[in-house]
A and B are shown apart, each in its own frame.
Chain A
């Protein structure tokens, strides 16, 4: 009787643990924290706390925001879609100044020699962290279930041989997308 009882309580404990794990993972990944962390936490720009890493790198909303900023602020101008160009590639496992979050945050905020500008004054702390988290996700350092998916955009472009001068591809005439005139 008592052994069955113990067995039952073990099953219950296991179920509870699984539930808590799912809860923690789900909340960490899915929360939409729109407000930036309190100023005290932001001061940790030099030394990432576990809280900050989980807030950005394991959070789908922050990673998606980082990806958007990557396009908006023309990171692709030098780093291309991650494969690199004028700047180094981001999607490999070579990190000139280290690949941990704090090194990447420092690279973005303070800049690096040979061309990487310092964006510290022009971005909010939140944005720097979002970008850093996204940059790490391009080489698979963020959890796959939180990392952004493909964009609804040309993956490269329509093949030149398919282009028609009468009916070229249509782009939105918007300043905001930058695709128009």
Chain B
């Protein structure tokens, strides 16, 4: 599978870790690239607290998992090469998913390097990685879980899934589709929908195994954090209660900045529950192709997650490369592309205008984040449409114009 261009891409990414990059500080502070849950400076601050006997989870500064804290304090220092390696693992996992889906067993495939490039050269993923945001690790674990599940390797897949839900609690959305993927095949079934074929009982057993792994990680993290359950509130609790209102490209921060105090708990509940609502309908409708269901749920996370950073929609966009069969059925790919271009250009400009230059106000950036939301929504809705439309097949060349496929 190791074609030369694939290896070239990988080594370029590795080299980049050793290259001094201008504006590294600005990248690390950028609110688009890392959120309070993934920011590198907060990671360093947590390490400083840990080394100076201050509780890292006091003061609402450090919101990373205790596992990352112990990794970077005991095993290796937080150096850029770790992020490069994580990116390479992610790209490799994406290529493996692609090969499993296309049943390419041996020999390099022509699209390997394209798939790897879609991950490594995606600016939404590369820039957060250069900013040393820990969302890079979260994305790599999601892809690893999907890859191992596609290969049918149960325990490693469930372990990777446990890691990814541990690092970012909203990844719980992916548990159901990954379990479905484990008991079915990863080969594209979009064109021929059929009822769920996997064994439900096996899926339950796998869920039990996943829960066991998750509890082990939870226990390990609690032991490492030491002082009580404060870390749960600071890490996972932050995704539910939004204590830090630092701007990001998502929808939560300005909504809860401007929210009336007495409605805050209600809308926090609405926004959290809203994410969960998508799991069942998408998994039921795409029960014949669990990988596509997880792809759509990654897209949902990339719009509605609390503490969104560009790495979240970036993962969705990179995963598009796995499903070339739906491309002909996309209704408005150009509009989606333009919306993303629009949003990714406006976000940094309006952010700078508001907080750096002091010329614009918060509404500018909010407007850009709404465009980002529309762009993400357009991508997910279009992918959802194309995933369903493909099953209806094409109308013969001569009959076009006479017949049309619609939804009732």
Binding partners A and B: no
Q: Taking beta carbons and an 8 Å cutoff, which residues of A are in contact with B?
A: none
- Which B residues are within 8 Å of any A CB, using their own CB? none
